[in-house]
Amino acid sequence: MRIFKFGGASVKDAAGVKNVFDVLQKVGYEEVLLVISAMGKTTNALEVVIKNYFDKSPQLNASVQEIKKYHNEILLDLFENEEHEVFLDVRDHFADLEYFLRSNKSPNYNFVYDQIVSYGEIISTTIVSHYMSYKGIQTEWIDVRNYIKTDNTYRDANVNWETTQKAISKIAKKKSLFVTQGFVGADENGFTTTLGREGSDYTAAIFAYCLNAESVTIWKDVPGVMNADPRYFENATLLHQISYREAIELAFYGASVIHPKTLQPLQRKEIPLFVKSFINPLLPGTSVSKGKDLEPKLPCFIVKKDQLLLSLSSIDFSFIMEENISEIFALLHQYKIKVSLIQNSAISFSVCVEDKFGNFKELVKVLSKKFKVSYNENVSLYTIRHFDDNAMKMVEKNKTVLLRQMSRETLQVVTKE
């Protein structure tokens, strides 16, 4: 079986859904499982719904209606007959969402987030599955929550691999074209969980691992994995082949094409990963597979914006020792602060972090009780794999360098524009 993942950009409108059908016609759809993300910016729109819900905003209903209207316009562009059952199915999903908003009693933001935001994937896959059948490709829509089982770490759930393997193995011998949701799972009580933003790639890898898939293809609006993000760097170059190791390194440092958790399960079973263009699906794209000889021969640039540079020093000029660092990392973990870079000296300790859950100010209050704390907001972290002098000069040009760290293969620079 082959696993295809289509992200939100590929199904952002009716033309995108039609293009998915065209891609399948060109590359084949026998023994394929499609993992589909929410359409366009639906996840962001559902986050507005969540905010309005917790704020008890009078705009709550309007924010839901806006999402309904967006999906209904796509439906009307795809299906000639409004009596088609897809309209009823989508209405039922929105009815379920609205019922949850009326009946929920949990004050847990992360729990509520997962129950609401997952409707983006549920609705998008319903539309895509019906459209494929409408155009003559029979599909089997499956609810991923019956297959990917996780713990109850809402918004960043951990997969229960044993239970997930047992569930997914039940579809291994079927020849259907499956359509399922990315990003979503369920805990042991049946409540919806999510695997973290951009987790649809990870969903594809989970299915691939459990099905011993032939390959995974991530369909993007770019030709493949580039040596730099074209939004920030001119003359970005396609990497035709890279190793799992290099892809994991790039993902770890924040390359946006491949989700960091995606690669480990694929590497364990040596399942090749392809990153291809849904605009030009017959082009080779980038292949990620085993091999030490697949390292890029040119610098690879990664930039992470909106970071925080946190610097701690001892109040009494004593050394920052192992027990201090251990305590600091325990707090970073407790407040769910993602660390991107670490640097320490005898009496100071600096980390470049990402405040994904909005807990940074609370963390600073706690750290200030034991350390002298300073920080810079809205900094950028540049990482250059296989760097050279020209690459370093290009990144640092016209910027204030707050921190620089260098190893044999990798240069990291924290800058303020």
Residue at 229 is within a domain = no
Q: Which of 220, 240, 258 is the last residue in one of the domains?
A: 220
User: Are 211 and 318 part of one and the same domain?
Assistant: no
The least confident of 175-179, 311-315, 316-320 is 316-320
Band of the pLDDT at 142, cuts 50, 70, 90? very high
Rounded CA separation 358/112 (Å): 16
Q: Which of 220, 236, 253 is the last residue in one of the domains?
A: 220
User: Are 33 and 166 part of one and the same domain?
Assistant: yes
For the chain, the distance separating the N- and C-terminal CA atoms, rounded to the nearest angstrom, is: 47
| pLDDT above 90: residue 39 | yes
Q: What is the CATH number of the domain that holds 68?
A: 3.40.1160.10
pLDDT digits (tens, 9 = 90+) for 245-286: 888 888 888 877 687 689 899 999 999 999 999 999 999 999
The DSSP-derived string for 96-147 is HHHHHHHH-----HHHHHHHHHTHHHHHHHHHHHHHHHHTT--EEE--GGGT
Q: Are strands 410-416 and 371-385 parallel, antiparallel or unpaired?
A: antiparallel
User: Are 157 and 10 part of one and the same domain?
Assistant: yes
Which amino acid belongs to residue 308?
A: L
What domain range includes position 340? 300-416
Burial 271-293 (b: 16+ CB within 10 A, else e): bbbbbbbbeebeeebbbbbeeee
Q: Quick one: CA torsion of 143, 149, 153, 159, rounded to 10 degrees?
A: -120
Residue in 253, 259, 202, 261 with CA at minimum distance from that of residue 228: 253
> By the 8 A CB rule, do 93 and 127 touch?
no
Residue in 399, 26, 291 with CA at minimum distance from that of residue 18: 26
Q: Are strands 177-181 and 32-36 parallel, antiparallel or unpaired?
A: parallel
Does residue 328 or residue 174 have the better pLDDT?
A: 328
Percent of the chain topping pLDDT 90: 82
| pLDDT above 80: residue 294 | no
pLDDT of res. 248: 84
The 8-class DSSP code of residue 316 comes to T
User: Are 205 and 305 part of one and the same domain?
Assistant: no
Band of the pLDDT at 239, cuts 50, 70, 90? very high
Band of the pLDDT at 137, cuts 50, 70, 90? very high
Q: Give the sign of the dihedral formed by CA 367, CA 328, CA 340, CA 156.
A: negative
pLDDT digits (tens, 9 = 90+) for 328-343: 999 999 999 999 999 9
Residue at 279 is within a domain = no
pLDDT digits (tens, 9 = 90+) for 64-80: 999 999 999 999 999 99
pLDDT of res. 197: 66
Tell me the pTM.
0.84
- Mean per-residue pLDDT, 289-303: 83
The least confident of 98-102, 260-264, 293-297, 348-352 is 293-297
Q: What is the CATH number of the domain that holds 392?
A: 3.30.2130.10
Q: What residue has token string 């292949």?
A: 287
Contacts of 274 (CB under 8 A, 6+ apart): 215, 216, 217, 218, 285, 286, 287, 288
- Mean per-residue pLDDT, 6-10: 96
Contacts 24+ apart (CB under 8 A), 248-252: 249/385, 249/410, 250/225, 250/300, 250/302, 250/385
Q: Which of 186, 220, 254 is the last residue in one of the domains?
A: 220
Band of the pLDDT at 230, cuts 50, 70, 90? confident
Does residue 346 or residue 51 have the better pLDDT?
A: 51
Residue at 86 is within a domain = yes
Residue at 203 is within a domain = yes
Rounded CA separation 217/220 (Å): 9
Residue at 262 is within a domain = no
User: Are 215 and 312 part of one and the same domain?
Assistant: no
Percent of the chain topping pLDDT 70: 98
Rounded CA separation 398/394 (Å): 9
Residue at 100 is within a domain = yes
Q: How many domains does the chain have?
A: 2
| pLDDT above 70: residue 292 | no
User: Are 187 and 314 part of one and the same domain?
Assistant: no
